[in-house]
Amino acid sequence: MKPPGYLEGVASTYQDALLRDLAWLVVTPDIVAFPPSSPFSGRPSQAELGLTGVLETWLNGLAIPELARNGRQASRMGHYHEQLWHWLLDRAPNTRLLAHNVRITRRRNTLGELDMLYRRRDNPAPVHLEVAIKFYLGLPDGPGAVTDQGRWIGPGGLDSLALKCRHLQRHQLPLSATPLALDTLRHWLTPRDLGPATPDLPAVLAQRLAMPGVLFYPWHAPLPPPEGAAPGHRRGRWCHVSDWPALAATLPGDYRIAWLEKPHWLAPPPLETFMPPGMRVEWLTKALYQPQQVIVYCPAEQRSERLFIVPDNWPRQVPLPPR
């Protein structure tokens, strides 16, 4: 149990969004988990990163202006999330970033990119890591069974948990096991990268996936977690904008609210930025036309909750299931 002043496991005292987002990335579980029989495994653990019990000390030692300047902070959330992983793997005590965005081509045709390769300082074998940050809203009605991943779609209605998992498992993760990718990596990686214990690439690279995010459950209807959902994944709720007054009436009387804007959909903002519900309500006007993510904070209960408020005609479209 974290002391007061922590939201979603992140100290609210960090004023810089980069520090809060890095902390959130480390402590936030993935939204999906691979079965034991899968050839793929999940995200690097805090122990693997060398951050068990020392996360805040490590964060306090980071030079944030240097990170922001050298990284030229991305404005798109997906690129920003990848950038956070680059910084994390390159600066964590027990890992080193070897390469990122490695393009695999055949006769000038791009077959795909490997998000990043890293190694542990106590193990020179390279690891292929794919990353994605996802915020999916669950549909109480179709498509498929009640636990079908196709019912969980992005706020823009163009993506689904089913499509993303299919693409990762069928294309992005296996790509690093192809002879073409291994030949490419032999040119990318030097003996210094691999270390004296592994002078050449292993025949098969370890393949990992990190997919932090939040699954938002419908406010107006029950819905179980999707198939493959990770135990302990972060949860929120969603409602149509016309239902917001009814949902708000169920919240404690002292609740405060903060509106999240991309690319900072990761960590909650500092406590002092949460406002009484009658102040700064432009997000509610925007929710008439586009989904808006907010965080509600209840001081008396010292708890927070994520909410997506969507237009009354949402979703305008539902992605087709994978073929």
Question: At residue 32, does pLDDT exceed 90?
Answer: yes
> Is the distance from CB of 20 to CB of 266 less than 8 angstroms?
yes
**Could you count the other beta carbons within 10 Å of the beta carbon of residue 130?**
21
Tokens matching residue 98: 């070897």
Rounded percentage of the chain residues whose pLDDT exceeds 70: 92
Q: What is the mean pLDDT of residues 43-52?
A: 96
Q: What's the pLDDT tens digit per position in 110-149?
A: 788 999 999 998 888 889 999 999 999 999 998 899 999 9
In the chain, the amino acid numbered 50 is: G
| Residue carrying the six token digits 């909650």 | 268
pLDDT of 198 above 70 = no
Listed range (202-206, 246-250, 293-297, 299-303) with the worst mean pLDDT: 202-206
Residues in Cβ contact with 59 at an 8 Å cutoff, skipping those fewer than 6 apart: 14, 19, 22, 23
Q: pLDDT class for 183, splitting at 50, 70, 90?
A: confident
The C-alpha atoms of residue 173 and residue 169 are separated, in whole angstroms, by 6
Of 94, 93, 97, nearest to 82 by C-alpha is 97
Check pLDDT > 70 for residue 200: no
Between 7 and 36, the higher pLDDT residue:
7
Q: Report pLDDT for 195.
A: 65
Residue type, 129: L
CA 278/CA 133 separation, integer angstroms = 31
Length of the chain (residues): 323
Tokens representing 15 are: 């004023």
pLDDT of residue 291: 97
Asked whether the beta carbons of 139 and 315 are under 8 A apart, the reply is: yes
SS3 237: strand
Alpha-helical (H) ranges within 61-174 are 64-71, 77-91, 161-167
Residue 181: its pLDDT value, please? 87
The whole-number pLDDT of residue 234 equals: 98
Mean pLDDT within 184-196: 74
Average pLDDT, integer, range 171-176: 92
Residue 197 has a pLDDT of 60
Instruction: Say how far apart CA 194 and CA 245 lie, in whole Å.
Output: 58
pLDDT of residue 89: 96
- Say how far apart CA 269 and CA 285 lie, in whole Å: 21
pLDDT tier, 68 (very low <50, low <70, confident <90, very high otherwise): low
pLDDT at residue 36 greater than cutoff 90: no
pLDDT tens digit sequence for 84-115: 999 999 999 999 999 999 999 887 787 889 99
For residue 71, the model assigns a pLDDT of 54
User: What's the whole-number mean pLDDT along residues 274-283?
Assistant: 87
Average confidence (pLDDT) over 164-184 = 91
Residue pLDDT, tens place only, 232-259: 999 999 999 999 999 999 999 999 999 9
More confident residue, 109 or 273: 273
